[in-house]
Chain A
Amino acid sequence: MKKLINAPDAVVDEALAGMTAAHPDLLRVIEPNVIVRADAPRSGKVGIISGGGSGHEPMHGGFVGLGMLDAACPGAVFTSPVPDQMLAATKAVDGGAGVLHIVKNYTGDIMNFELAAELAQAEGIDVKSVVIADDVAVQDSLYTAGRRGVGGTVLAEKIVGAAAEEGQDLAAVTALCQRVQDSVRSMGMALTSCTVPAAGKPTFEIGDDEMEVGVGIHGEPGRERRKLASADEITEALMTPILDDGGFGSGDRVLAFVNGMGGTPLLELYVVYNKVAAMCRDRGVTIERNLIGSYITSLEMAGCSITLLKLDDEMVRLWDAPVHTAALRWGV
Chain B
Amino acid sequence: MSAFDSATLRRFVELFADRLRDRRDELTQLDSAIGDADHGINMDRGFSAARAKVADLESDADLGTVAKTVGMTLISTVGGASGPLYGTFFLRLATTLGERGEADATDVGAALRAGLEGLVQRGKAELDDKTMVDAVTPAIEAFDAAVSDGLEAALGAAAGAAAVGRDRVTPLVARKGRASYLGERSAHHQDPGATSATIMLEALRDAVATA
Interface residues of A (CB under 8 A from B): 53, 75-84, 106-108, 111-112, 115, 135, 137-139, 143-145, 148, 196, 198-199, 203-204, 216, 218-224
Contacts and interface: CB of A to CB of B under 8 A. Distances in A.
A78 B38 contact: yes
B149 to A, nearest CB: 36
B36 A221 contact: no
Contact of A82 (B79, B85, B177, B185): B79
B37 A108 contact: no
Interface centre among B28, B35, B37, B177 (most CB of A within 10 A): B37
Given A82-B77, A106-B178, A144-B180, A199 B83 contact: no
B161 to A, nearest CB: 25
B101 interface: no
Contacts of A112: 79-80, 83-84
Given A81-B79, A111-B84, A203-B36, A223 B185 contact: yes
B203 interface: no
Secondary structure type dominating chain B contacts: helix
A108 B175 contact: no
Contacts of B176: 107, 144-145
A82 B37 contact: no
A148 B79 contact: no
B181 A220 contact: yes
A75 B79 contact: yes
A199 B84 contact: no
B181 A80 contact: no
Contacts of B182: 220-223
Interface string B1-45: 000000000000000000000000000100011111110011001
A222 B181 CA distance: 8
B75 interface: yes
A107 B38 contact: no
Given A76-B79, A79-B79, A106-B178, A223 B36 contact: no
Given A115-B84, A145-B181, A108 B41 contact: no
Interface of B: 28, 32-38, 41-42, 45, 75-85, 122-123, 129, 175-178, 180-183, 185
A198 B75 contact: no
Contact of A143 (B33, B77, B78, B175): B175
B84 A108 contact: yes
A88 B37 CA distance: 28
B71 to A, nearest CB: 12
A199 B80 contact: no
B85 A199 contact: no
B131 to A, nearest CB: 9
Given A77-B38, A223-B183, 13 more contacts: A76-B38, A79-B41, A80-B79, A82-B77, A108-B80, A111-B85, A138-B181, A145-B176, A145-B178, A198-B41, A199-B41, A220-B36, A220-B181
A203 B123 contact: no
Nearest to B126: A143
A79 B78 CA distance: 8
25 contacts: A79-B38, A80-B79, A81-B79, A82-B77, A83-B76, A84-B75, A108-B82, A108-B84, A111-B122, A112-B80, A112-B83, A115-B75, A115-B84, A139-B183, A143-B175, A145-B178, A198-B38, A199-B28, A199-B41, A203-B37, A218-B36, A220-B34, A221-B185, A223-B185, A224-B185
A80 B178 CA distance: 12
B183 A107 contact: no
